[in-house]
Amino acid sequence: MESFNAVDAEDLKAFLIESHEMLAQFERDVLSLENGALNPDQLDRLYRSLHTIKGNCGFLPFAKLEAIAHAGETLLGTIRTTQRNITPDVATALLQLADAIQQVLQTIEATASEGNQDYSGLIATLTTLCKTDAIPQATITHHATPLDAADGQSGMPLDSTIDSTIRVQVDLLDYVMNLVGELVLARNRLLQLTATNQDAEIVVTGRQIDLITNELQDNVMKARMQPISTLWRNLPRLVRDLALDCGKEVALELEGSETELDRSLIAAIKDPLTHLIRNCIDHGIESPDRRMAIGKSAQGRLKLRAFQENSKVILEISDDGAGIDSTQIKARSQQMGLITAAQATSMTDREALELIFLPGFSTTTEVTRLSGRGVGMDVVRRNLESVQGTVEIDSQLGHGTTFRLKIPLTLAIIPALLVSSSNERFAIPQANVQELIRLEGEDQIQRSIETLLNVPVYRLRGQILPLVNLAAVLQLPPSTGPTDLLYFVVIAADDYRFGLIVDWIEDTQNMVVKPLSKQLRSLNMFAGATVLGDGAAALILDTSGLAKYAGVQRQSQQSFAPATELEPGLSDRQLILIMLGPQNVRMGILLTHATRLEILPSTVIERVGDQYLMQYRDRIVSLIDLQAVCTGMVSSPAEFAEFVSIVIITLDGDRTVGLIVHQILDIVEEAITVTGAATRPGVTCYATVQGHITEMLDLNAIVELTNPYRTARELLIGARR
Amino acid sequence: MAIQLICTFFLNNTYFGIEVEDVQEIIRQQSLTRVPLAAPDICGLMNLRGQVIPVVDLPCRLRLRSVSCPIGEQVIYNIIVKTNDDTAGFRVDEIGDILECPLEAFEPSPTTLNSHIRWFLKGAYKLEHDFLLLLDSQKILQTTYRDTAEEIDTHSLFTSKRKYIVSDRLGR
């Protein structure tokens, strides 16, 4: 066991699966060679499989297995060179060899060691066979016995790798997936039918089918997915070797290795990824001396980060090396005649970086810091494009380079928001949806929507948000909905942020993303299609494609950068919930404390003793009237307005209370500027938020205040279900 | 005698066919989801048992008429054409028989035809009274609508306007 600790369990599993597969093929080949004439291809394959097993053993501590495989390899090598036929003796020996390897593999699998079986006899036989054909039959049978006996002793391990995985054609999985899709639709119809049915048995059966279908769908999906860690497993070694070759020190960081993507895509991005890593180490990260000289740590940092965004998996490869000098790129491209001088001067740095993806771009002859950066970059891009992916580059001179690969999940379930416009339904990937806004009343709509340079805009918490009408962009007939209601979805995608006006917002569902047919690929505003619950097909919007088509301006690079640069913990900007408290005073609390905002009819408020309580989501929540806290005026339940705004607050993890406020105003993200000390209990400080004086509340103090006899805690605990 | 099975149909009263190997199935038109901004010959998207495929108005793609996807009272059939790399439904006016055509009767496309239609054809089978124009499945799948629409007067292209009496043998 000890010999084995260093070996990665994943590696071992992969080794076992591969070896088992090769052995099965090995046996078939030996048998067919024995029956027919010598087939050089088959012989090569036999030789190769033993060679691979032997080679793999070199990385793993299996000397015995290596010796057996080596003996077999030598024999096959002799046969290959002498071109002699495989006699039954040789075939028997080879099959015994396969049995022996099989046995060792099973022992390894069961006990994680090679076991104590002695195979020297078999090795001797194989060695003798190399010299002559004439091997006494007895020798072979002699060795056959201990093998059989050993089989009997150890028994077949039941839980073996060979049984727990099988290879399945992706086509078959696709077909099963489609069948599951049909099943989901049939299920949906069945549920609609059972909804009106009185027969309890039918209803129960319907629900069972519902549950089973969901599980089936999830698992078939999973069957096609592999974590990206399967691709990353070999990277530490690759990085180490490359760093040694280049005389650099590199620390590899991997983040998001559990991100899953389709098996076929993992294979497709393997080469581009390796290429980019090589580039980062070779040309990005500077030598330790150079790094020390410019004040960086001697060890360079190479970071791989994978995460899912909409129907794409994003894979970022970033280094903290020298970065790419766009001026040099421009100069080089001009030299090579890829761009004209005029183009070079009018080009932005970002555009210049894109030049390295041009097919002709190469700096191999030029010995500069960026030499080689462009070599094969066009291949990287082409490889990604072949799977509908993209590669972007971002580089800061002196600070490093980031390559961002976007790989689609052709078969993924994404949560998406279903909206409708002109009676057509569209899905918007939930990851692009920031918030939903409803404006009521023609007055308010008129007032809120301004026109700036012919573009309708909405001021969302002080920021200008361009508005796009979905029906107009898609040239749908204008909607005939009510004019005193306006819904829009605030969308953020890539560098775009805009409000998308729709007629109606339905709900968020998990949707199976289906690729669009080739016939419709030119429509960049659609990312794919899906099948809705009622069986109709619906289009999934590609939000950045839509923004481009609608002519939404990109947000400037500068305003975007700080948001991504800042670590969440380091930012002093906080989300603050602004509300109107008693006497129309602006009050604020940190949004991290508020779990939900509710506007409820005042009939939900019940009075028990001196406490106000309400039933909320299966539990009893005690309510704190901010007015009573601040002014001491306790209202009776009848004195509350018809509807009350309640902020549900969670303190210390699981203490839930409701704060009755006059009005909930807004949520803002701002750094708090303290402008004065608190003047009354329950208030932390005065601060300026959005240019207005705002009292920042101390929620713990308020809870204490409402319960001078400290009964609150017991009451809260007692009230919890 | 070698025989080719051809799935036949009518477009603007002209007799067309597709080799039966490329036809996955023939279905009645289901409700479609419109695709905004798509080419005029795209009628919409259809959910074919969990697979989302586009439905193309075939007469429109062949420029036999310019108005795409007319909505009428009659039942409309879609021929689902499947090749190695794409699948689409093609809307046709009327479904014909599956014909057994002897390969001897196969000829190159008649040169009297307009070049736009000829582009989509593999050739023609000379029948007893008329021609059966054989469409190239790859080409009708891959050639998307180009904006150089020209009016094609099909009636001037064909001397015989005889309409075939079709027995509906497709099991409906």
Total domains, chain A = 5
Find the helix packing angle between A137-154 and A88-111, rounded to 10°.
20
* Lowest-confidence pick of A214-218, A272-276, A298-302, A412-416: A412-416
Q: Do A9 and A149 belong to one domain?
A: yes
* Domain assignment of residue A567, yes or no: no
A526 lies within 8 A of chain B by CB: yes
Among candidates B133, B120, B122, which has minimal Cα distance to B60? B120
Q: What is the pLDDT of residue A67?
A: 83
CB < 8 Å to A178, chain B:
49-51
> In this structure, are residues A317 and A405 in contact, taking their beta carbons and an 8 Å threshold?
yes
Q: How far apart are CA A487 and CA A715, in angstroms?
A: 42
* Lowest-confidence pick of A58-62, A303-307, A372-376, B31-35: A372-376
Q: Which of B52, B61, B91 to mutate to test the interface with A (most CBs of A within 10 A)?
A: B52
Q: Which two tokens stand for residue A249?
A: 């020190």
| Chain B contacts to A (CB-CB under 8 A) | 31-38, 42, 44-47, 49-54, 56, 85-88, 141-142, 144
Cα separation values, A332 from A146, A285, A386, A398, B58, Å: 71, 21, 28, 19, 51
At residue A112, what are phi and psi to the nearest 5 degrees? 60, 20
**Structure-model confidence comparison of residues B141 and A617, the more confident one:** B141
Q: Do A329 and A276 belong to one domain?
A: yes
Domain that holds residue A191: 170-227
Here the CATH number for the domain that contains residue A591 is: 2.40.50.180
Q: Which residue has the tokens 């072949």?
A: A386
Q: How far apart are CA A311 and CA A370, in angstroms?
A: 34
Exposure pattern of A274-309 as b/e (b: 16+ CB <10 Å)?
Answer: bbbbbbbbbbbbbebeebeeeebeeebbbbbbbebe
Map residue A192 onto helix, strand or coil. helix
pLDDT at A366 over 50: no
Here the CATH number for the domain that contains residue A126 is: 1.20.120.160
Hey, are the CB atoms on A185 and B35 less than 8 Å from each other? no
Q: What is the pLDDT of residue A526?
A: 92
Query: Among A495, A528, A562, which residue terminates a domain?
Result: A562
Hey, are the CB atoms on A181 and B54 less than 8 Å from each other? no
Q: Do A131 and A160 belong to one domain?
A: yes
* Domain assignment of residue A195, yes or no: yes
Among candidates A352, A376, A349, A361, which has minimal Cα distance to A282? A376
A536 lies within 8 A of chain B by CB: yes
DSSP string covering B107-141, please?
Answer: EPPPTTS-HHHHHHEEEEEE-SSSEEEEE-HHHHH
Q: How far apart are CA A72 and CA A52, in angstroms?
A: 12
Q: How confident is the model at residue A601 (pLDDT cuts 50, 70, 90)?
A: confident
Q: Do A341 and A461 belong to one domain?
A: no
Q: What is the pLDDT of residue A317?
A: 92
Q: What is the pLDDT of residue B154?
A: 39
Q: Which two tokens stand for residue A664?
A: 């909930």
| Segment A109-132 mean pLDDT | 79
CB < 8 Å to B45, chain A:
529, 537, 539
pLDDT in tens, A175-192: 887 788 778 767 777 877
Q: Which of B50, B56, B144 faces A531 most closely, judged by CB atoms? A: B50
| Segment A506-518 mean pLDDT | 79
Contacts by residues A431-434 (CB-CB < 8 Å, ≥ 24 positions apart): A431/A309, A431/A310, A432/A310, A432/A491, A432/A492, A432/A493, A432/A543, A433/A489, A433/A490, A433/A491, A434/A490, A434/A491, A434/A492, A434/A497
Alpha-helical runs (H) found in A112-169: 120-131, 137-154, 161-164
Map residue B152 onto helix, strand or coil. coil
Among candidates A143, A155, A109, A185, which has minimal Cα distance to B48? A185
Q: Which two tokens stand for residue A10?
A: 């994943």
Q: How near does any CA of chain B get to the CA of A161, in Å?
A: 34
Q: Do A521 and A605 belong to one domain?
A: no
Q: How far apart are CA A608 and CA A719, in angstroms?
A: 12
At residue A662, what are phi and psi to the nearest 5 degrees? -70, -50
Q: What is the pLDDT of residue A154?
A: 43
Q: What is the pLDDT of residue B70?
A: 61
Q: Which amino acid is at A353?
A: L
Q: Which CATH number fits domain B3-144: 1.10.10.10, 1.10.1670.10, 3.20.20.70, 2.40.50.180?
A: 2.40.50.180
Q: Do A548 and A532 belong to one domain?
A: yes
Contacts by residues A543-547 (CB-CB < 8 Å, ≥ 24 positions apart): A543/A428, A543/A429, A543/A432, A543/A491, A543/A493, A543/A496, A544/A493, A544/A494, A544/A496, A546/A468, A546/A473, A546/A500, A547/A468, A547/A491, A547/A493, A547/A494, A547/A496, A547/A498
* Domain assignment of residue A568, yes or no: no
Q: Which of A517, A523, A526 faces B53 most closely, judged by CB atoms? A: A517
Q: Do A535 and A577 belong to one domain?
A: no
Q: Which two tokens stand for residue A571?
A: 């930012």
Query: Among A143, A164, A185, which residue terminates a domain?
Result: A164
CA A28 from centre of chain: 41
pLDDT in tens, A444-483: 888 888 887 778 888 888 788 899 999 999 998 887 777 7
A178 lies within 8 A of chain B by CB: yes
* Domain assignment of residue A328, yes or no: yes
Q: Do A148 and A74 belong to one domain?
A: yes
Put the strands of the sheet holding B121-126 in their side by side order: B94-102, B3-11, B14-19, B131-135, B121-126, B106-107
Which residues in chain B come in under a pLDDT of 50? 147-172
> In this structure, are residues A363 and A357 in contact, taking their beta carbons and an 8 Å threshold?
no
Residues facing A405 on adjacent strands: A315, A391
Mean pLDDT of chain A: 77
Cα separation values, A453 from A456, A457, A549, A552, B163, Å: 8, 10, 18, 12, 60
- Which DSSP category does A479 fall into? P
Hey, are the CB atoms on B49 and A517 less than 8 Å from each other? no
Region for B74 from its dihedrals, namely left if φ exceeds 0, alpha if ψ lies in -120 to 50, beta otherwise: beta
Q: Which residue has the tokens 């289009």?
A: A539
Residues facing A502 on adjacent strands: A487
Q: Which residue has the tokens 């009408």?
A: A469
Q: How far apart are CA A635 and CA A638, in angstroms?
A: 8
| Segment A628-655 mean pLDDT | 76
A537 lies within 8 A of chain B by CB: yes
Q: How far apart are CA A634 and CA A626, in angstroms?
A: 10
* Domain assignment of residue A86, yes or no: yes
pLDDT at A711 over 70: no
Q: Do A120 and A179 belong to one domain?
A: no
Among candidates B9, B116, B17, which has minimal Cα distance to B62? B116
Burial of A494 from C-beta contacts in 10 A (0-12 / 13-18 / 19+)? middle
> In this structure, are residues B52 and A529 in contact, taking their beta carbons and an 8 Å threshold?
yes
Put the strands of the sheet holding A537-541 in their side by side order: A504-512, A413-421, A424-429, A537-541, A526-531
* Domain assignment of residue A300, yes or no: yes
Query: Among A164, A191, A209, which residue terminates a domain?
Result: A164
Report the helix count and the strand count for chain B, using DSSP H and E.
4, 11
pLDDT in tens, A549-581: 888 877 643 333 333 333 333 345 677 888 888
| Segment A606-626 mean pLDDT | 80
Residues 6+ apart with CB under 8 A from A67: A119, A123
Domain boundaries, chain B: 3-144
Among candidates A552, A418, A416, A414, which has minimal Cα distance to A487? A418
* Lowest-confidence pick of A65-79, A199-213, A361-375, A455-469: A361-375
